[in-house]
Amino acid sequence: MPSNAEAAEIFRNIADLLDVLGEKFKPDAYRRASRSIETLTEDLGPIAARDELGTIPGVGDAIAEKIREYLRTGRIAYYDRLQKEVPPGLVEILRLPGLGPKTARRFWVELGIEGPAELADAVAAGRLDRVKGFGPRKIALIRDALRAAAAAPPGGARMPIETAYPVAERIAGALRARSRSDRVEIAGSFRRRRETVGDLDVLVTSDEPEAVFDTFSRLPEVKEVRLRGSTKETCILANGLQVDLRVVEPAAFGAALVYFTGSKDHNVHLRTIARDRGLKVNEYGVFRGEERIAGSTEADVYAALELAYIAPELRENRGEIEAAARGPLPALVDAAEIVGDLHVHLPPSAGPSDVDRIVGEARRRRLTYVGVVIGGPGADGTPWSLPPATVARLIAADDPALRVRRAIEIGPSATPRRLPADGAEFAIGRPTAGSDPADLAAPDGVPVRLIAHVAGAADERAPRGWIERAHALGAAVEVGPGAERLDSTWARHARESGTRLSVATGLGGPPDDPTFPIALGFARRAGALRPDVDNAGGGSTPVVRRPSGRRRS
DNA sequence: GCCGTTTTCGGCCCGACTGTTTTCAGTCG
């Protein structure tokens, strides 16, 4: 089954192989095409069917033809040929930290080394000592890299943003509290809210870089300092994540934030625009000749390039720059606009005090309504419901400032029968393994307000049917923080089909629960505006479309 | 291999850091 991810990987591998062969510009061209394909919102198949492969940034005639070949046959002959030409071990050498194409090629051509094992033998035998350009430090670095690669599984794995978020926030918080730094911001794909992050780019303004580096290096999360200069430090965390910390002056903070937030292709496009306007842009600012004309804020940088501000979540070079050149972009849904959450869970054993905790937190967050799930099929499929005393406390908590509503969860194959459906005011559809969206229906008189998917549901990778069902029921689709359960894909499909989203708030979770910022970011990446979001305020969103004849509180 | 309100040919982002150097090459992001 051809996939965008696999095609992107093939083109990335082609770039590596061309690197080793000493090609100059082709590797970058293939990498650019690979990154474009990776961030596509649509499968390659339909794009090819419409004959629109050429509209993908970085894809020209030659790569379009290779994509068609891949879609047709599942293979690319050019790739197969390159793999025969270059020993596979050389690509492994290329992927060792600190070793690049030039070095790998020299090993191959000058020493006949074709893989990591032969390289290790050469190091051990001292064959590298006599080679020009290899001093003792370099050789030690190679030895370490080989040892690390042998000990660790093949690295480079990206981490789900949900996993990286708490540690990223802890680091940022520690830097804010313990150093004399004025501004601390985590940039990179983390700030763009990609589903996964490869590393963390932390940006700090301070007039004492050394003190910032000292604080950072001593954090308990930091396992190893890999390099340290006057403006930059690179560390490895205990969980394996790499963190690049940079200290910049306040006058350059906006420019640095743009630069290190990326994406790379967004930046390259910005520089092209700058050049067209007779300007230069780098991480220090926008320059006309020697004069810096912008740099302290991101808005200044975009304005100097005659562009409207572009939200980080949109910076993927998918047309956002062209749109910003035409005028202001529509405002994406904002954290302050989220006014409620209809899908708050309490465990079946929860008591009245748990209700108070949830309600208190909802008030602190200035929400105007919450829906609490009082029953549904449990993880094992058997029905459960909250104890009557807890439900009574829920009803009592309802007041004009915070409307509290009761929900039940339903699934097509496991519609609960022994639930207090009597007290439920709306239902939340929950896809279950192997179930058919068409079968999803709530008990009589109970409106379905939301369809929320959970990890492990069989159809979560093919959400279209569920989103269509939500659309037909007039329900919203919940967006959560799960990279692996493809929440951001759900958000994109829902948005493209005009189905409303609901942003999960993580209400009731632990203090460092990343649910809300990530779910919100996924919605924003999908281009969601306030009217697209069911739980974003604006006055037009009734909490529940209530069946007629019901009590009103 | 891609791309074009300077171009269909001749460019291709740009700066920090490291190691090995007597002024620079390679790697990384």
A104 touches strand B (CB under 7 A): yes
Q: Distance between CA atoms of A222 and A90, rounded to whole angstroms?
A: 31
Tell me, what's the pLDDT at A152?
60
* pLDDT (tens place) for every residue of chain A, 553 residues total: 678 888 999 999 999 999 888 888 899 899 989 988 887 877 899 899 999 999 888 999 999 999 999 999 999 999 999 999 999 889 888 888 888 888 999 899 888 899 898 998 888 888 888 788 888 888 888 888 888 777 665 445 678 899 999 999 999 988 888 766 678 999 999 999 988 888 899 999 887 888 888 888 889 988 888 888 888 888 888 888 889 999 888 899 999 999 999 888 888 888 888 877 878 888 889 988 888 899 999 999 999 988 999 999 999 888 888 888 888 999 999 999 999 999 998 888 888 999 999 999 999 999 999 999 888 877 777 788 888 899 899 989 998 889 998 888 887 655 555 555 566 778 878 777 667 777 777 777 778 888 887 655 544 455 677 888 888 888 898 988 876 666 777 788 888 888 999 999 999 888 889 999 999 999 999 899 999 999 998 644 455 544 443 433 3
A526 touches strand B (CB under 7 A): no
A135 touches strand B (CB under 7 A): yes
Left (φ > 0), alpha (ψ -120 to 50) or beta: where does A263 sit? Answer: beta
Three-class secondary structure of residue A199 per DSSP: strand
Instruction: Give, rounded to a whole angstrom, the gap between the first and last alpha carbons of chain A.
Output: 54
Domains A4-151 and A251-326 share a fold: no
A156 touches strand B (CB under 7 A): no
A325 touches strand B (CB under 7 A): no
A289 touches strand B (CB under 7 A): no
A57 touches strand B (CB under 7 A): yes
Q: Is the peptide bond before A502 cis (omega within 30 degrees of 0)?
A: no
> What would the pLDDT profile of A338-383 be if each residue is shown by its tens digit?
999 999 988 888 889 999 999 999 999 999 999 998 888 777 777 8
Closest nucleotide C1' to the C-alpha of A138 = B19
A74 touches strand B (CB under 7 A): no
Three-class secondary structure of residue A225 per DSSP: strand
Closest nucleotide C1' to the C-alpha of A62 = B1
A228 touches strand B (CB under 7 A): yes
Closest nucleotide C1' to the C-alpha of A246 = B16
Tell me, what's the pLDDT at A382?
78
Distance of CA A517 to the CA centre of its chain: 11
Instruction: Fold for A159-247, please state it.
Output: Beta Polymerase; domain 2 (3.30.460)
Task: Provide the CA A162 to C1' B17 distance, Å, integer.
Answer: 31
Tell me which residues from 474 to 513 on chain A have a beta carbon below 7 angstroms from nucleic acid strand B. Answer: none
For chain A, domain boundaries: 4-151, 159-247, 251-326, 335-536
Q: Distance between CA atoms of A401 and A311, rounded to whole angstroms?
A: 32
Tell me, what's the pLDDT at A549?
39
Closest nucleotide C1' to the C-alpha of A100 = B27
Counting every residue written for chain A, the total comes to: 553
Identify the bridge partners of residue A529 per DSSP, sorted by sequence position. A332
A326 touches strand B (CB under 7 A): no
Q: What count of other Cβ atoms lies within 10 Å of the Cβ of residue A397?
A: 20
A99 touches strand B (CB under 7 A): yes
A127 touches strand B (CB under 7 A): no
Q: Distance between CA atoms of A166 and A155, rounded to whole angstroms?
A: 22
Tell me, what's the pLDDT at A143?
87
The bases of strand B with some atom under 7 A from any protein CB are 1-3, 5-6, 11-21, 25-29
Instruction: Fold for A4-151, please state it.
Output: DNA polymerase; domain 1 (1.10.150)
- Cα A341-A337-A256 angle, rounded to 5 deg: 120
Tell me, what's the pLDDT at A522?
92
Tell me, what's the pLDDT at A543?
54
Tell me, what's the pLDDT at A369?
93
Instruction: Report residue A421 as tokens.
Output: 């459906």
A229 touches strand B (CB under 7 A): yes
Task: Provide the CA A307 to C1' B21 distance, Å, integer.
Answer: 44
Taking Cα atoms as reference points, which of A533, A481, A542 lies closest to residue A506?
A481
Task: Provide the CA A282 to C1' B15 distance, Å, integer.
Answer: 8
A138 touches strand B (CB under 7 A): yes
> What would the pLDDT profile of A457-493 be if each residue is shown by its tens digit?
544 455 677 888 888 888 898 988 876 666 777 788 8
Tell me, what's the pLDDT at A360?
93
A19 touches strand B (CB under 7 A): no
Tell me, what's the pLDDT at A438?
75
The CATH number, out of the four listed (3.30.1370.100, 2.30.29.30, 3.20.20.140, 3.40.50.1980), of the domain defined by the range A335-536: 3.20.20.140
Distance of CA A230 to the CA centre of its chain: 30
Tell me, what's the pLDDT at A169?
92
Tell me, what's the pLDDT at A43?
83
- Burial class for A18, CB neighbours closer than 10 Å (0-12, 13-18, 19+): buried
User: What residues contact A231, with CB distance under 8 A and at least 6 apart?
Assistant: A209, A246, A247, A248
Q: Which CATH architecture has domain A251-326?
A: 2-Layer Sandwich (3.30)
User: What residues contact A58, with CB distance under 8 A and at least 6 apart?
Assistant: A29, A32, A33, A35, A36, A265
- Residue closest to B29, CA→C1'? A260
Tell me which residues from 160 to 219 on chain A have a beta carbon below 7 angstroms from nucleic acid strand B. Answer: 199, 201
Check if the beta carbon of residue A303 is closer than 8 Å to that of residue A294: yes
